[in-house]
Amino acid sequence: MVILAYENVIKSYGSTLALRGVSFDVRAGEIFGLLGPNGAGKSTLIRILMDIIRPDSGEVRVFGEVRRRDHLDRMGYLPEERGLYTKLTVIDVMVYFGALKGLSRVEARRRAHVWLERVELPEVASWKIDRLSKGMSQKVQIAAILLSDPELCVLDEPTTGLDPVNVRLVQSLLLERRHNGRTTILSTHQMNQVETLCDRVALIDQGRLMVYGEVDEVRRRYSHPDVIVHSPAALPRVSSVATIASGGDGVWRVSPAENASYSQVLSDLVGAGAQITRYEPILAPMEEIFLRVVQERVA
Amino acid sequence: MTHWRRIWTVATFEFLQAVKRPGYLIATFGMPLFLAAYAGIIALPAYFAMRADRVPAIHGVVDAAGVLHLTRDERSAGQPLPEEVKKMMEASGQRGVFDDADFGAEFVFRPFASEAEARAALTSQAIKGYFVVLADYLSQGVVEVYTLDSIDLTRGESRSAFAMLLRQRLLDSRLDPKLSARVVDPLRETRRFSITKTGALTDGGNTAGILRIAVPVLFTVLFLMSVLMTSGFLMQGTAIEKENKVVEVLLASVNPDEILSGKLLGLGGAGLLQIVVWLALLAAGGLGIVPLILESQVEMPWLALALAIPLFLMAYLFFGSLMLGTGSLGSNMREAQQLAMVWSLTAAMPLMMMAALLREPHGVVSRIMTFLPFSAAPLIIFRASTDLSFLAWWEVSGAVLLLVASTWVALRLGARLFRIGLLSASRPKLREVIRQARL
């Protein structure tokens, strides 16, 4: 089920065209990676979704309807440039953010305490924000956004500046959201997280949608043609294979012949008597895809 | 979540955060104490000066012309309390106040046989000065005045008192005593009345006049105070989101109109609460004047009083939204206050022009200012107080309608400027502001 759809969205700032007719959708219950270099138009897309700015043309549909103001109660947003009211206490800020999403103050307070436990900061409830460390502040911000349990949540670089333990903690929260059927849009430059967490991605560059689809499918699309084959014995020569190189310990790198598909190579090798225990295409890392797309555009 | 609930959430948050600040509590409850202490410090020298005035100032008189016929010390009372005030205080059971009070200095004129004696008394400081009525006074009118070589602020008063004594004694032997009394004090008591445009008779006394001016002046001063006091809160409220980088999180939940309205209500409420506390303390301190006003039977400007609260709120919303909108264009608190200064000055305009308006309360300037949104509220109150019969119903309703429309436009414009201001890291260019404001 599609929970969010951008339909030919165009937005310009003066003479600068920030979005040039972007269309893609996000499915309910997935973690969706929104990628792109700085200034690509990601923030503009997010701001349009959050009704902070209006598109010049095109449409945004959420929850199956044209986006309305009251849809924001079911959405959460952690922007890249973020902060908290430094002179207030943690609990006051969290209650306020919860109340703005329609929770009663009592319920917001209850949930705030629960979420502070979840981000392992129960002791900071009565602290002033300016007493928190940067990492603590970031976890409080995430908790403040998630306490209203938004159906659709946009997190812009949620783990920047966190130590590996806390990165793991935040990742587990996102996976739990997916498990509960909640949708998360993750805008990040950390490609390893995209590979680990995201179901699908959209890569924006210069206001255009450059890459879009399931993470594995995208990686395959941009991957090297060679495949890694695990076999205890040497592989036989077949017509669909151009070269076979040994990697040692029964691991072979196989280069398919021109126009030969992975399935044909596998079928031919098995047909020729090869004992294959594992067969995996060499998927391109997301980082490589990102760089290739951006560099191709620059070139 | 409804539009109003969002506004209420923002308003509650802003109000509670504002009133919990130590600075707010100090200003709210500390300011009256400070003012009381300040008034005390000012009142102390005045008190001692008044006590000094109660000791009669003795002046010598050398009557070479023989017109005064002084044989012993002659007392001359200070300025009498106006009859109107006396009556009003009698009516409210406060006769004792003027029975015991001295309103102005009292003088004693002591006869001296020669100038040498008088001069000796002056050098020994037994007297404060002396008058010499020259022998040819009746033909030339010359009186010499001798004082010590020092500053004495009562010299003018002593000369007036001596002139009064001289006038009385000159007439005593020549005129009928009643006629003499009228020549000395031709306006001993005045009774004043005012005729309205419709020919009706109203109280024209000083108290009525003072009350009619006091209501609009008090309104304008209070309004200005509230605008200036709350503008600080409003500016702080605008800059705080930018400084704390919570703008986008906020805008992802509430729109700029709702934030603006919530802030106006919350921060404005905090500012108004402060003024209400001050007024309450002031009223508690001045409860004594209530029976005085009630007993004075002056015609209260009821329409002006009835219009005061709604007009106050509308004018506050008008200026508040413009101040918030303009202030949000600044990138920090200082810039915000500079930008919003123009509205504080505009709000002060009627007060600055009060002297000119008082000359012609229903003149062209007043009529024009009645229909300008920034001055409509104080001008309606002012004109309704001074003489209601000169204020047409269509002027009141037209000005109120105009103010309502202007307030609505100001709220919309303020919200647009607020949106631009919130999303701009630095001060946006004028062209961008105009472009967005037009949308």
Q: What is the mean pLDDT of residues B238-253?
A: 80
Q: What is the reported pLDDT for B421?
A: 73
Stronger pLDDT, A202 or B178, i.e. the higher one: A202
CA distance B323 to chain A (A): 22
Q: How far is CA A263 from the centre of its chain?
A: 30
Do the Cβ atoms of A146 and A115 come closer than 8 Å?
yes
Residues 6 or more apart whose Cβ sits within 8 Å of residue B75: B56, B106, B107, B108
User: Does residue B92 surpass a pLDDT of 60?
Assistant: no
Q: What is the reported pLDDT for A197?
A: 93
Neighboring chain B residues of A75 at a CB cutoff of 8 Å = 252
The pLDDT-based confidence of B324 (bands split at 50, 70, 90) is confident
Nearest CA in chain B to A153: B252
Say yes or no: A269 contacts chain B, CB-CB below 8 A.
no
User: 3-state DSSP: chain B helix, strand, coil percent, rounded to 5?
Assistant: 70, 5, 25
Nearest CA in chain B to A43: B248
CA distance A239 to chain B (A): 59
Window from A188-197, B270-279, B292-301 with minimum mean pLDDT: B292-301
The Cα–Cα gap between A96 and B321 comes to 23
Neighboring chain B residues of A70 at a CB cutoff of 8 Å = 1
The pLDDT-based confidence of B133 (bands split at 50, 70, 90) is very high
Q: What is the reported pLDDT for B178?
A: 83
CB contact under 8 Å between A82 and B245, yes or no, is yes
- CB-nearest to A79 from B10, B17, B248 is B248
Q: What is the mean pLDDT of residues A238-256?
A: 90
Tokens of B111: 């006869």
Q: What is the mean pLDDT of residues A140-156?
A: 95
User: Does residue B300 surpass a pLDDT of 90?
Assistant: no
Query: How many residues does this entry show for chain B?
Result: 439
Window from A89-93, A215-219, B278-282 with minimum mean pLDDT: B278-282
**How confident is the prediction for chain B on average, in pLDDT?**
78
Strands of the sheet containing A2-13, edge to edge, are A16-27, A2-13, A57-62, A65-66
Residues 6 or more apart whose Cβ sits within 8 Å of residue A193: A159, A171, A186
Window from A55-69, A256-270, B326-340 with minimum mean pLDDT: B326-340
The pLDDT-based confidence of B427 (bands split at 50, 70, 90) is low
The Cα–Cα gap between B323 and B418 comes to 10
At residue A196, what are phi and psi to the nearest 5 degrees? -75, -40
Q: What is the mean pLDDT of residues A257-265?
A: 84
pLDDT in tens, A82-104: 888 888 999 999 999 999 999 99
Residue with tokens 């039977």: B297
| Strand ranges (E), B193-298 | 193-195, 201-203
User: Does residue A292 surpass a pLDDT of 90?
Assistant: no
Q: What is the reported pLDDT for B164?
A: 86
CB contact under 8 Å between B246 and A82, yes or no, is yes
pLDDT in tens, A98-126: 999 999 999 999 999 999 999 999 999 99
User: Does residue B426 surpass a pLDDT of 70?
Assistant: no
- Burial annotation A255-268 (CB, 10 A radius, 16+ → b, else e): ebeeebebebbbeb
Q: Which of B189-198, B304-313, B332-341, B356-365 has the highest mean pLDDT?
A: B356-365
Chain A interface disruption, residue of B19, B248, B424, most A CBs within 10 A: B248
Window from A166-170, B15-19, B98-102 with minimum mean pLDDT: B98-102
The Cα–Cα gap between B206 and B191 comes to 10
Neighboring chain A residues of B10 at a CB cutoff of 8 Å = 100
Say yes or no: B140 contacts chain A, CB-CB below 8 A.
no
The Cα–Cα gap between B178 and A43 comes to 95
**How confident is the prediction for chain A on average, in pLDDT?**
91
Query: Which amino acid, residue A167?
Result: V
- CB-nearest to A70 from B1, B17, B251 is B1
* Distance linking the first and last C-alpha atoms of chain B: 26
Interface of B with A in 198-257 (CB under 8 A): 240, 244-246, 248-255
Q: What is the reported pLDDT for A21?
A: 94
CA distance B247 to chain A (A): 8
pLDDT in tens, B147-202: 888 766 667 788 888 888 888 888 887 788 888 888 877 877 777 676 766 777 66
User: Does residue B207 surpass a pLDDT of 70?
Assistant: no
Residue B68 per-residue DSSP state: S
Residues B132, B136, B138: CA angle, nearest 5 degrees: 95
Q: What is the mean pLDDT of residues B127-140?
A: 91
Q: What percent of chain B has pLDDT over 70?
A: 76
Residues 6 or more apart whose Cβ sits within 8 Å of residue B393: none
CA distance A102 to chain B (A): 5
Closest CA to B272 of B28, B31, B35: B28
User: Does residue A146 surpass a pLDDT of 90?
Assistant: yes
User: Does residue B439 surpass a pLDDT of 90?
Assistant: no
* Distance linking the first and last C-alpha atoms of chain A: 38
Q: What is the reported pLDDT for A120?
A: 94
Q: What percent of chain A has pLDDT over 70?
A: 99
The Cα–Cα gap between B59 and B207 comes to 36
Chain A interface disruption, residue of B4, B5, B253, most A CBs within 10 A: B253
Q: What is the reported pLDDT for B293?
A: 59
User: Does residue A144 surpass a pLDDT of 70?
Assistant: yes
- Burial annotation A232-244 (CB, 10 A radius, 16+ → b, else e): eeebeebebbeeb
The Cα–Cα gap between A205 and A212 comes to 12
pTM score, whole prediction: 0.71
Tokens of B122: 């002056």
The Cα–Cα gap between A223 and A281 comes to 8
Window from A234-248, B5-19, B135-149, B299-313 with minimum mean pLDDT: B299-313
Beta bridge partners of B193: B203
Q: What is the mean pLDDT of residues A176-203?
A: 93
Handedness of CA A73, A78, A81, A83 (dihedral sign): positive
Q: What percent of chain A has pLDDT over 90?
A: 64
Q: What is the reported pLDDT for B349?
A: 85
Question: Would you tell me how many other CB atoms lie within 10 Å of the CB of residue A176?
Answer: 12
Q: What is the reported pLDDT for B89?
A: 56
Q: What is the reported pLDDT for B220?
A: 74
Q: Which of A110-114, A220-224, B33-37 has the highest mean pLDDT?
A: A110-114
DSSP labels, B290-319: HHHHHHTT----HHHHHHHHHHHHHHHHHH
The Cα–Cα gap between B301 and B416 comes to 39
User: Does residue B94 surpass a pLDDT of 70?
Assistant: no
Q: What is the reported pLDDT for B428?
A: 67
ipTM: 0.81
Q: Which of A1-15, B349-363, B372-386 has the highest mean pLDDT?
A: A1-15
Question: Would you tell me how many other CB atoms lie within 10 Å of the CB of residue B371?
Answer: 14
At residue A64, what are phi and psi to the nearest 5 degrees? 80, 5
Residues 6 or more apart whose Cβ sits within 8 Å of residue B84: B190, B205, B206, B207
Query: Which amino acid, residue B184?
Result: V
The Cα–Cα gap between B58 and B61 comes to 10
The Cα–Cα gap between B337 and B70 comes to 70
Residue B2 per-residue DSSP state: -
Q: What is the reported pLDDT for A29?
A: 94
Tokens of A73: 């109660």
Do the Cβ atoms of B13 and A99 come closer than 8 Å?
yes
Q: What is the reported pLDDT for B39?
A: 77
| Strand ranges (E), B135-175 | 143-147
Q: What is the reported pLDDT for B34?
A: 82
Window from B52-56, B200-204, B274-278, B322-326 with minimum mean pLDDT: B200-204
Question: Would you tell me how many other CB atoms lie within 10 Å of the CB of residue A152?
Answer: 22
Say yes or no: A128 contacts chain B, CB-CB below 8 A.
no
Do the Cβ atoms of B250 and B241 come closer than 8 Å?
yes
Neighboring chain A residues of B250 at a CB cutoff of 8 Å = 100
Q: What is the reported pLDDT for B90?
A: 59
Q: What is the reported pLDDT for B437?
A: 61
Q: What is the reported pLDDT for B211?
A: 64
CB contact under 8 Å between B240 and A85, yes or no, is yes
CA distance B236 to chain A (A): 12
User: Does residue A138 surpass a pLDDT of 90?
Assistant: yes
